[in-house]
Amino acid sequence: MSTRNRIPQLLEPYFRLPPELSLILLTGTLGCTPTWLTSLYVSSILSPQQQQQGEAYTVLLVSWMRDLKFWKTQIRRTTGLDLSKLASEQRFHFVDCTSTTLQHPSTSKDILESTVQQMQSVLSKIESHQPKSRTILILDNPDILLATASTTASNLHQALLPLRSRVHATIVSLTADSPFLAAAAAAATEEASKSRFSPVEVQTSAFVVLMAHAASFVVGVRELLTGAARDVSGVVRITRGGGAYEGDEAGDVKEVEALYLVQRDGGVKVFGRGQMGG
Amino acid sequence: MAFRKRNVVLGRPPSDTAPVKESALGVKPSSLSSHTVTSTGTPSLDALLGGHGGLILGSSLLVEESGTTDFSGALLRYYAAQGICHGHTVHIVGVGEHWVRELPGLLEEKHAGRREVTASESERMKIAWRYENVGVVGERGAPAAPSRTISSPGREIDTPFQHSFDLSKRLSIPSDAQIHTLQTTPNSTPFESVIHHLERSLKTSAPNTIHRLVIPTILSPAIYPPHASRPENFTRFLHSLRALLLQYSDKLTALITIPLELYPRTSGLIRWAEHLSDGVLELTPFPHLMDASNSLAESGGARGNEDQPQGLVHVHKLPVLTEQGEGGAGGENSIGDDLAFTVSRRKFAIKPFSLPPLEGDQDAQKDAGKLTGKDVEF
């Protein structure tokens, strides 16, 4: 297996193994998806170096937007990690939630319940097979449940809490476009205009804010304000989340903003403003 | 048997026979990746989609349009007509049989070929030689495959991958064409029957049939009941469609148009629709089209009558490339480019947009042109 280290130097401190019960929030926008960050997290957790150093780590990836085929090719081309092999070694598990609405077509309310049950059963399987291994739960776009009006932000948050308590750490990726966050921003400034926003906007922004308050740090990617450029994919910004102030372990997160470029071959360059990518 | 090639296994047919999957008509391998692409029926749109040369199978395209015009409808008709020409199964949602009868017919090839070639030839003579390699829309910074997709339309017409259509003609639909027109049900879940039909059709069809889903002006109050725009209907439908696209990623493509007047891009609902689509394109027609185009023609911003830009095109998201996190960067990526579209009888062309020179400048130029030897006094 390839041992090349694909994590950009500037971001390396944020790819150390997260402390126990911590939460990392990844946010993206329409033109800048954080899938490359998710791939880097999966590969950094499952990399051979990591496994030699300490206890074994297991990844449970739950995706509402992309299927296993996508993640396999994406992680292989960005990091050279073979997910099929890791899956057969029981170190990588995947729960496919892309077809939840297809299977529950009518206005059923049990989409969230069935999904959570599915995740619980996979977690039980991991715990019985590898009692010593530490599991990292990665949730890719659980806010789809809010977009399809299957549940509310507080219900989703409550359903995730028991799952989070069963795993070592959780990484959540959400969308944070300005139409979604406008509701939260307006609620903070002027109470009266709240009714302008649709329930979907309110629920989506509420969930992002909830997660940001619980996270030890937030990694956000967004488009360049000045428009698209040929040598910049977008801006990556790392800020402390609300959880950083609770414990003393994650309190030393350094806040960074930099530009990044995802190349055609999947390699990522991260560099400061005004510097050349390299 | 020393003359037998040693690395060929005995008793096995030669391995270079074409795979069976390729027998589907109207698909070709992407020029960029291992994906398979199909034509949208609009060559300049095919060239825009991230350098793949077409719409990748298993992906959907959302075309948004502001204002009360229906330019995106032309794109949709080309897409449907192209599917019928290739013998694809075409599913059309929300509109009746009459929509199918009004699809544009094929352009007569001899006529088209001659006209297009002369146009491109004359262009080559006019434009300075150093701009010749600049290429067309969407080929920004691409070293490979120069002038392949739309810069040589005369040659492209002969190949069956893309056809040329004429909006003033009507397509003669072959009797064996697989066209399904689906009506949304007026009950509380208007999209459910569409998904059921699509799923059944995909499941039962032969492995190498290609399906196209065509949804004109989704959420338009003329066709859809008001509760269709509720998230439990609309976004759920798009998520189910996405699941089908993932499940049948070698069979299905979809093109959806949406009017932005009632549901602006700043609303959460539309943003979710954009997230759930693989590609997002926005058309912004110029207001007061006639005045604007006349003054543009006068000032020499456009060459002929057919090339007047009629509106702007913004690409917000590209299939596959955006999912991989590439953002606006990279060659052949048209996110953030200034593009304009021109709809004429024969084509829907998307080109780089540039403002014409100012009117004042033109007067100055005219005066300069009048200057003759007589006026110069020593």
Q: Over the stretch A27-65, which tens digit does the pLDDT of each residue have?
A: 999 989 999 999 999 988 998 776 666 678 899 999 999
CB B27 within 8 A of CB B37: yes
Q: Which residues of B touch A228 (CB under 8 A)?
A: 327-329, 333, 335-337
Judge: A233–B231 Cβ closer than 8 Å, yes or no.
no
Using CB atoms within 10 Å of the CB of residue B235, give its burial: 0 to 12 exposed, 13 to 18 middle, 19+ buried.
buried
Element (H, E) at A25: strand A22-28
CATH number at residue B206: 3.40.50.300
- Orientation of helix B234-247 relative to helix B192-204, angle to 10°: 10
Judge: B265–A179 Cβ closer than 8 Å, yes or no.
yes
CB A39 within 8 A of CB A74: yes
pLDDT given at position A190:
64
Whether B360 is covered by a domain: the verdict is no
CATH number at residue A107: 3.40.50.300
**What are the C-alpha distances in Å from B150 to residues A139, B121, B135, B145, B146?**
42, 14, 9, 12, 10
Judge: B268–A30 Cβ closer than 8 Å, yes or no.
no
The string of pLDDT tens digits covering residues A155-184 is 999 999 999 999 999 999 999 998 888 887
Helix runs in chain A, H state only: 35-46, 48-53, 68-79, 83-88, 100-103, 111-129, 144-147, 153-166, 178-189, 199-214
Whether B255 is covered by a domain: the verdict is yes
How are strands ordered across the β-sheet holding B339-343? B179-182, B89-93, B211-215, B252-259, B60-65, B279-285, B311-317, B339-343, B348-352
Q: Which two tokens stand for residue B57?
A: 């199978």
Of B236, B249, B331, the CB nearest to A148: B236
pLDDT given at position A3:
42
Cβ under 8 Å to B: A residues 15-34: 30-34
Rg (C-alpha) for chain B, rounded Å, is 24
What number of CA atoms fall less than 13 Å from residue B297's CA on the CB side?
A: 12
Whether A190 is covered by a domain: the verdict is yes
CB atoms within 10 A of CB A29: 21
Whether A180 is covered by a domain: the verdict is yes
Q: Which residues of A touch B272 (CB under 8 A)?
A: 147, 200, 204
The count of domains in chain A is 1
pLDDT given at position A116:
92
**Tokens 């002369």 -> residue:** B118
pLDDT given at position A144:
93
Judge: A179–B336 Cβ closer than 8 Å, yes or no.
no
Whether B361 is covered by a domain: the verdict is no
User: Which phi and psi (to 5°) does residue B349 adopt?
Assistant: -110, 135
List, as own/partner pairs, every contact residues A124-130 make where C-beta atoms lie below 8 angstroms and the sequence separation is at least 24, other chains included.
Answer: A125/A93, A126/A58, A126/A60, A126/A90, A126/A93, A127/A166, A129/A90, A130/A56, A130/A58, A130/A90
What's the rounded Cα separation, in Å, for the pair B63 and B77?
13
Whether B137 is covered by a domain: the verdict is yes
Mean pLDDT value across chain A: 86
A and B: number of Cβ contacts within 8 A: 162
Q: Which amino acid is at B198?
A: L
Whether B16 is covered by a domain: the verdict is no
Helix (H, G, I), strand (E, B) or coil at A218: strand
* Structural domain containing residue B163: 23-285+302-355
Whether B48 is covered by a domain: the verdict is yes
Q: Which site among B31, B197, B272 would you substitute to test the A interface, given the most A Cβ atoms closer than 10 Å to its Cβ?
A: B272
Q: Which residues of A touch B195 (CB under 8 A)?
A: 102, 105
Residue A145 above 60 pLDDT? Answer: yes
Cβ under 8 Å to B: A residues 160-189: 175, 177-180, 182-183
Residues of chain B with pLDDT under 70: 1-23, 109-160, 288-307, 328-332, 356-378
> A177: closest CA among B322, B59, B267?
B267
CB A177 within 8 A of CB A211: no
Residue A259 zone, left/alpha/beta (φ > 0; ψ -120 to 50; rest) = beta
The count of domains in chain B is 1
Q: Which residues of B touch A99 (CB under 8 A)?
A: 240, 243, 246-247
Helix (H, G, I), strand (E, B) or coil at B55: strand
Chain length of chain A = 278
Residue A1 above 50 pLDDT? Answer: no
Partner A contacted by B189 (CB < 8 A): yes
Whether A245 is covered by a domain: the verdict is no
pLDDT given at position A258:
94
Q: Which site among B237, B238, B275, B281 would you substitute to test the A interface, given the most A Cβ atoms closer than 10 Å to its Cβ?
A: B275
More confident residue, A101 or B357: A101
Of A102, A150, A233, the CB nearest to B244: A102
CB A198 within 8 A of CB B262: no
What's the rounded Cα separation, in Å, for the pair B139 and B333?
7
Any residues with CB less than 8 A from the CB of A119 and at least 6 apart, and which? A60, A62, A95, A137, A163
Of B246, B276, B329, the CB nearest to A231: B329
Element (H, E) at A236: strand A234-240
> A107 to chain B, minimum CA–CA distance in Å?
7
Whether B76 is covered by a domain: the verdict is yes
The string of pLDDT tens digits covering residues B111-149 is 444 444 444 445 555 555 555 545 544 444 444 333 333
- Buried b vs exposed e over B30-52: b needs ≥16 C-beta within 10 Å? bbbbebbbbbbbbbbbbbbbbbb
**What are the C-alpha distances in Å from B236 to residues A107, A144, A241?**
10, 9, 31
More confident residue, A247 or B79: B79
pLDDT given at position A244:
78
Cβ under 8 Å to B: A residues 228-247: 228-234
**Tokens 């994906």 -> residue:** B35
pLDDT given at position A54:
66
Whether A261 is covered by a domain: the verdict is no
- The proportion of chain A whose per-residue pLDDT surpasses 90, expressed as a percent, equals 50
The string of pLDDT tens digits covering residues A181-213 is 888 777 777 655 556 788 899 999 999 999 999
Whether A244 is covered by a domain: the verdict is no
Whether A8 is covered by a domain: the verdict is no
Neighbouring-strand partners of residue A57: A134
pLDDT given at position B187:
80
Judge: B275–A98 Cβ closer than 8 Å, yes or no.
no
What number of CA atoms fall less than 13 Å from residue B132's CA on the CB side?
A: 11
Cβ under 8 Å to A: B residues 302-321: 316-317
Q: Which residues of A touch B230 (CB under 8 A)?
A: 149
Using CB atoms within 10 Å of the CB of residue B173, give its burial: 0 to 12 exposed, 13 to 18 middle, 19+ buried.
middle
What's the rounded Cα separation, in Å, for the pair B200 and B183?
16
pLDDT given at position A273:
87
- The proportion of chain B whose per-residue pLDDT surpasses 70, expressed as a percent, equals 67
Judge: A99–B247 Cβ closer than 8 Å, yes or no.
yes
DSSP letters, B245-306, are HHHTTTTEEEEEEEETTTS-TTSHHHHHHHHHSSEEEEEEEPSSHHHHHHHHHHTTSSSSGG
pLDDT given at position B8:
55
What's the rounded Cα separation, in Å, for the pair B76 and B42?
10
Task: Give the distance from CA A160 to its chain's centroid.
Answer: 14
Using CB atoms within 10 Å of the CB of residue B362, give its burial: 0 to 12 exposed, 13 to 18 middle, 19+ buried.
middle
Whether A156 is covered by a domain: the verdict is yes
Whether A81 is covered by a domain: the verdict is yes
Cβ under 8 Å to A: B residues 195-254: 195-196, 199, 230-232, 235-236, 239-240, 242-244, 246-247, 249
Judge: A228–B335 Cβ closer than 8 Å, yes or no.
yes
Q: Which residues of B touch A185 (CB under 8 A)?
A: none
Judge: B231–A199 Cβ closer than 8 Å, yes or no.
yes
Q: How confident is the model at residue A231 (pLDDT cuts 50, 70, 90)?
A: confident
More confident residue, A165 or A79: A165
Judge: A31–B316 Cβ closer than 8 Å, yes or no.
yes
* Structural domain containing residue A205: 20-222
DSSP letters, A80-110, are ---HHHHHHTTSEEEEE-TTHHHHS-SS-S-
Prediction ipTM score:
0.92
Of A65, A101, A263, the CB nearest to B240: A101
Judge: A102–B235 Cβ closer than 8 Å, yes or no.
no
pLDDT given at position A228:
80
